[in-house]
Amino acid sequence: MPEPLVLALDQGTTGSTALLLDRRGRVRGRGYAELPQHFPRPGWVEHDPDEIWRSVLVALKRALASARARASTVAAIGVTNQRETTLLWDRRTGEPLGHAIVWQDRRTAERCSELRRRGREAAIRRATGLVCDPYFSATKLEWLLEHRARSRRLLAARRLAFGTVDSWLVWKLTGGAVHATDRTNASRTMLFGLRSLRWEPELLRTFGVPASVLPEVRRSAGDFGRTRGVPGLPNGIAVAGVAGDQQAALFGQGCVRAGQSKNTYGTGCFLLLHTGDTPVTSRAGLLTTVACSADGGAAYALEGSVFVAGAAVQWLRDGLGILAHAADSESMARSVPDSGGVVLVPAFVGLGAPYWRADVRGALLGLTRGTTRAHVVRATLESLAFQSRDLVEAMARDAGARVKALQVDGGAVANDWLMQYQSDLLGVPVRRPRVIETTALGAGLLAGLGAGVWRSPRELGAARSLEHEFRPRRDARWRAAEWARWRGAVDRLLG
């Protein structure tokens, strides 16, 4: 009899990944499909919900083919997703009401400024752990309810559904039978109580959100329905795990106790520190968010969010044509001894933690006649490490202790040059796991626990083994000089 497999679906900003995991947590199959980006106006970023679903189906098909596995061997499905991205659809037909507004989108920046001017940010932060920023779902949903022409008619007929991408995928996987999210995704909407773990009526009134459009909130490992009508999969497979991408990565790295942390290098960079069963209020520009716990109980983390990391490398490839392939960035960075004084501050959609400045835009500083493409590429990779150090410094101020080693994951950690530079810049070891897609891994592990494939997180150790440790090679004087370059550039940009 074939071994049962767990299917992990990771729907990210620029593409969808599917992993097939065996009982030991090993990756048996892998599939990926890119997702088109839509930029209708400056500062606007959108996705087509139907394209999101198609990319998931393509990734799923490729994962099964790479594992040479039958779909009937899939015992459970886990879902993880780009978190704050917001969409509406018709409950009766399943038809989306236009494009989704992506987490990077800044169209509601003025609305957030208005809320701050009215003195509402402190109450929002106390309730949700979040700052008042267009990054989160509440003002996106408010905008959709106002600007999607059919929303009012569907709302009156109680046919309107809101969701982040996880809810959309659960809806599609279950043939419209389940409209649900999990606590980690709900905690990113700016509508969910951090301590109450429920939708907050006062926040719903603030943003004009009817409770009837909201998904049911469930624990991350558990019952999210069963498949129905999914191309390539039989009916009846348990959808048993859901978590936002960064919380899934935290769980995938085995960070389930207070004091454990990880940094994910994807489209953005996200550093999370598990704080146990008690939410910690940041004084250094970080967020407080819900995390996944091993037993399904309440758990929390501090989070630092960088909006543009790997997306900056994608910009070099697609926007400037400097790179043919993103992977070429490593050899180009190695081809020069330094960045030639060039610093990139990739504030293409504003700056996230710890600055939270939606109004600033990117800058490439220090250009001379001797600047080459290689210098720009190296400066772009350095910006990922600089922004990650911003988060580490803020985390140290909040936690009262410095990170002693950095657990890393995400697509960009395959770049050895970047990981070594990050270790040198922080002065601590940087640890890369064998499975760098720990976002998908975390979703799969949650689903396996939820469906009973694994009885305890202790059975998952093999899935979290270390592939390489990068140790610092530079001294404190070098680190101080490099850090001063970045801080000077950011200070000039912020004025």
Res 103: pLDDT: 92
Res 24: pLDDT: 82
Locate all alpha helices (DSSP H) within 92-240, ordered by sequence.
109-117, 121-128, 137-147, 151-156, 165-173, 183-186, 201-207
Res 1: pLDDT: 60
C-alpha torsion angle, residues 391, 392, 396, 401 (rounded to 10): 160
Task: Please compute, for residue 387, the number of CA atoms within 13 A of its CA located in the half-sphere on the CB side.
Answer: 34
Res 369: pLDDT: 96
Asked whether the bond before 354 is cis by omega within 30 degrees of 0, the reply is yes
Res 463: pLDDT: 64
Locate all alpha helices (DSSP H) within 194-283, ordered by sequence.
201-207, 245-252
Cβ atoms of residues 145 and 166 within 8 Å: no
Res 420: pLDDT: 97
pTM: 0.87
Q: Which two tokens stand for residue 122?
A: 């402190």
Cβ atoms of residues 408 and 434 within 8 Å: no
| Cα 25 from Cα 454, distance rounded (Å) | 10
Q: Which pairs from 273-277 meet CB under 8 Å and 24+ separation? A: 273/301, 273/302, 273/303, 273/395, 273/399, 274/250, 274/299, 274/300, 274/301, 275/300, 275/301, 275/302, 276/300
pLDDT (tens, 9 = 90+) of the chain, 495 residues, equals 678 899 999 999 989 999 999 888 888 999 999 999 999 998 899 999 999 999 999 999 999 998 888 888 899 999 999 999 999 999 999 999 999 999 999 999 999 999 999 999 999 999 999 999 999 999 999 999 999 888 889 998 999 999 999 999 999 999 999 999 999 999 999 999 999 999 999 999 999 999 999 999 999 999 999 999 999 999 999 999 999 999 999 998 888 888 888 999 988 899 998 988 888 888 888 999 999 876 667 899 999 989 899 889 999 999 999 999 989 999 999 999 999 999 999 999 889 889 988 889 999 999 999 999 999 999 999 999 999 999 999 988 887 778 888 989 888 999 999 999 999 999 999 999 888 888 898 999 999 988 888 877 776 666 667 789 999 999 999 999 999 999 999 999 998
Cβ atoms of residues 59 and 29 within 8 Å: no
Q: Which two tokens stand for residue 33?
A: 């499909």
Q: What's the sign of the alpha-carbon dihedral 352, 357, 360, 363?
A: negative
CB atoms within 10 A of CB 74: 22
Res 25: pLDDT: 81
| Cα 281 from Cα 292, distance rounded (Å) | 18
Res 434: pLDDT: 84
What's the DSSP call for residue 14?
Answer: S
Closest CA to 267 of 317, 316, 310, 304: 310
Q: What are the residues facing 81 on neighbouring strands?
A: 11, 244
Q: What are the residues facing 8 on neighbouring strands?
A: 19, 78
Q: Which pairs from 411-414 meet CB under 8 Å and 24+ separation? A: 411/265, 411/266, 411/310, 411/436, 411/437, 412/265, 412/266, 412/309, 412/310, 412/313, 412/384, 413/265, 414/327
Closest CA to 307 of 255, 354, 273, 249: 354
CA distances from 70 to 66, 75, 234 (A): 11, 11, 10
Q: At what angle do helices 416-426 and 373-399 cross, to 10 degrees?
A: 40
Res 295: pLDDT: 67
Q: Which CATH architecture has domain 5-245?
A: 2-Layer Sandwich (3.30)
